[in-house]
Structure 1
């Protein structure tokens, strides 16, 4: 069963746990560092006989310290709204200090870029816009209503034209740093979501394999009691026919019981067929692994052909859940965009195993070939499934899982379709098919719970 839509719904629904946008401890620590730097700057300016409104400046520093003490005393979770107003407060506090100490002539005016950069990294778009607008407004007011610095022998006032240039530079910095930080944060979040989805896919594949083993073990363990019940039912039928020939209803009941036992055995056999593969075939020939990866897509109207092109016997591979699920996603992608056929070509020698998965669809867009390592790249359109976003999360999951098994993936276009080439060092995927089998899973309360809640 393809996991792409289910994982997408999970991510869209926000089921993945989210942390605080900015940790309270981080906000408090950074603010203490900023306040310490502000206090040192005030004392240094006072030491060098620079005249400015010292008491109001110390009051602004005290306001920041008061907020930190309040946050320390009230350790509540920081929300998007809470982080936004704290960053706006920091902007206001810095802007007041800049206005009291020369305005745009103050070289520390660039520090107003710090809150908007933090907002672009950690907050949502709306909150980032709010912080950015507050930055532009407050630095403009600080420059307009600035109190000039005084010194007995030096002129510390920057010419108006340079102040204007400084103001423009800060505005450009707000836009540039916010956009750059936002882009980087967005890409990191995308990769994080994709890796989370990969973990979900692999965990489910492993769970299904374990569940298959439990079912196979259950079928094996119940075989003997079911056979005993059928034997006793047959003997009861014969004895009832001899002892009570007039009680045909009892004979029919015994016959029904025997048929029900046969039905139970058929059900357990069908449930345990795949489970036995998972339980016993920890190693399987290459064709078997390829058939298992392609099987969920074999009835979707596309012909899937497997071709082996080596003179050596097929290698025995480990039935690794990550390898099988990764191949399944590659094949699913080919089936999604194929017109009629998908071909899986396998070649190997004593050191290397190579698979080529080729479809007869429209191929990869040339502009997209360099981005297939990224999660959620530009979509590849399908004529068979209009609007389908087929070249995003599923392919990223496949690449991540297969590379974890030692594979190297290459994507290109062949005449008439797209091709994915997967190459392994054979030692990374080869298994010892003569190793002893592991024990069957025990059938107990935990196994019954797994069968009830797959």
Structure 2
């Protein structure tokens, strides 16, 4: 049984994601258009005095840098974290400079300085994002001391009281910090879920390939049967003619015996059930449980099977790689944290099928029990070492729920400590008929 928690986790993770340059380029063109339109409206429509030339120079610099990036790199290019930090830092500097010469914190567009920071926290490593946040806080503080007034009616000024300046500073910094933290948490959860689902698809694909090997073997045996039969006939003829020959007789006998051996091997391969033989794919519940338990009996922990219902009335379902893998992973987890024994209880009636897996370990910790089944939850304690309840349990839970099961994780009582998992299906989903 495959345990993907560690192996798959090495290949997937938030660090494997890179911000696509085309995304930043499009956002920058939107910023260029928005800044340009705003400056033109203020200067020519509202006729407020402002440093028009300097403002357009800053906007033009952003447009030139954006054009240079778009023609230098392909649209699918993904930025390394340091490169993304540099690009977002340049955006932050350009916007802060434009705000600085147009009123600073009094400018109603000042909260837009949060945008590069939020983008960074949503897509970049935490360390670089925090550095960008500190840089943004420095720029916001500098905006509070700008000597340039807010563009207003000619001959008039719109003074901002220092207390109001402080209030705006606190408002922008708190909004930026909260939005950045929220974007970081949401992106982390989405990335973990996407990685876990990708790993689940890999596991299912592997299980499907393994289940198809018998059909491929039968097809190969069928295709090789005809040429091998011809070789066998020719070998018999050569043995009849050269059987007593001192030079070739022994070699011909060896050729014939080996051809017969190949035919026996192919005959055994063709006896394997193919995917189209539906009756061979049916699996009684007791056989399914034994197939799950068999690979786990040699780990030094006693596996006890308790059957509460009559086998003669057990459901007979179709072999499902997802159910086999999911149950196997839960049994492995129970063995990992059991002291001496794992108990698997099976019961069924006319309406439901229930499988309960219990171990005699320390059970789930309180924080894990609240979040169990989420990807990369690895906080279950055993001898002060965490492990065993990460991506593997998420995959097992996902596969079993996909088959129609409901899972309940809980701890045993004082008389029977340990962790317990109850998996239940409606009888109709587990019974394909006899």
Q: Same fold (TM over 0.5)?
A: yes
RMSD: 3.6
Of residues 415-424 and 302-311 in structure 1, the stretch that sits farther from structure 2 once superposed is: 302-311
1:123 and 2:120 matched: no
Q: Give, in angstroms, the shift of residue 297 of structure 1.
A: 1.4
SS of the residue corresponding to residue 39 of structure 2 reads helix
SS of the residue corresponding to residue 48 of structure 2 reads coil
Q: Does the Cα contact within 8 Å between 1:234 and 1:258 map onto a contact in 2? A: no
Q: Give, in angstroms, the shift of residue 42 of structure 1.
A: 2.2
In the alignment, the residues of structure 1 paired with residue 255 and residue 283 of structure 2 have an alpha-carbon distance, to the nearest angstrom, of: 41
After superposition, what is the alpha-carbon deviation per residue over 1:104-141, rounded to whole angstroms, capped at 9, x for unaligned? 11121111001000000011223313322221222222
Report what 1:285 is aligned to.
284
Q: Structure 1 residues 397 and 346 mapped into 2: Cα distance closer, same or farther (>3 Å)?
A: same
Q: Does the Cα contact within 8 Å between 1:381 and 1:390 map onto a contact in 2? A: no
Q: Does the Cα contact within 8 Å between 1:98 and 1:106 map onto a contact in 2? A: yes
In the alignment, the residues of structure 2 paired with residue 142 and residue 262 of structure 1 have an alpha-carbon distance, to the nearest angstrom, of: 87
Q: Does the Cα contact within 8 Å between 2:301 and 2:338 map onto a contact in 1? A: yes
Q: Does the Cα contact within 8 Å between 1:317 and 1:430 map onto a contact in 2? A: yes
Residue pairs, 1:23-38, within 5 angstroms: 23-24=21-22, 26-38=23-35
Of residues 163-172 and 102-111 in structure 1, the stretch that sits farther from structure 2 once superposed is: 163-172
Residue pairs, 1:270-349, within 5 angstroms: 276=273, 280=277, 281-311=280-310, 313-349=313-349
Q: Does the Cα contact within 8 Å between 1:230 and 1:261 map onto a contact in 2? A: yes
SS of the residue corresponding to residue 323 of structure 1 reads helix
In the alignment, the residues of structure 1 paired with residue 386 and residue 254 of structure 2 have an alpha-carbon distance, to the nearest angstrom, of: 54
In the alignment, the residues of structure 2 paired with residue 48 and residue 407 of structure 1 have an alpha-carbon distance, to the nearest angstrom, of: 65
Q: Structure 1 residues 61 and 264 mapped into 2: Cα distance closer, same or farther (>3 Å)?
A: same
SS of the residue corresponding to residue 161 of structure 1 reads helix
Report what 1:440 is aligned to.
none
Q: Does the Cα contact within 8 Å between 1:216 and 1:279 map onto a contact in 2? A: no
Count of residue correspondences: 423
In the alignment, the residues of structure 2 paired with residue 300 and residue 277 of structure 1 have an alpha-carbon distance, to the nearest angstrom, of: 33
Report what 2:36 is aligned to.
39
Q: Does the Cα contact within 8 Å between 1:283 and 1:432 map onto a contact in 2? A: no
Residue pairs, 1:6-405, within 5 angstroms: 8-13=6-11, 20-24=18-22, 26-46=23-43, 47-76=45-74, 77-80=77-80, 81-149=82-150, 150-152=152-154, 155-215=157-217, 218=220, 254=253, 258=257, 265=264, 276=273, 280=277, 281-311=280-310, 313-382=313-382, 387=385, 389-405=387-403
In the alignment, the residues of structure 2 paired with residue 258 and residue 362 of structure 1 have an alpha-carbon distance, to the nearest angstrom, of: 60
Q: Does the Cα contact within 8 Å between 2:17 and 2:123 map onto a contact in 1? A: no
Q: Give, in angstroms, the shift of residue 387 of structure 1.
A: 4.2
Q: Does the Cα contact within 8 Å between 2:193 and 2:375 map onto a contact in 1? A: yes
Q: Give, in angstroms, the shift of residue 328 of structure 1.
A: 1.2
Report what 1:442 is aligned to.
none
Q: Does the Cα contact within 8 Å between 1:223 and 1:265 map onto a contact in 2? A: no
In the alignment, the residues of structure 2 paired with residue 361 and residue 235 of structure 1 have an alpha-carbon distance, to the nearest angstrom, of: 69
Q: Any gaps of 5 or more consecutive residues in structure 2?
A: none
TM-score normalised to structure 2 length: 0.84
In the alignment, the residues of structure 1 paired with residue 110 and residue 197 of structure 2 have an alpha-carbon distance, to the nearest angstrom, of: 40
Q: Does the Cα contact within 8 Å between 1:330 and 1:357 map onto a contact in 2? A: yes
After superposition, what is the alpha-carbon deviation per residue over 1:412-440, rounded to whole angstroms, capped at 9, x for unaligned? 1122321111111222333255xxxxxxx
Report what 2:421 is aligned to.
420
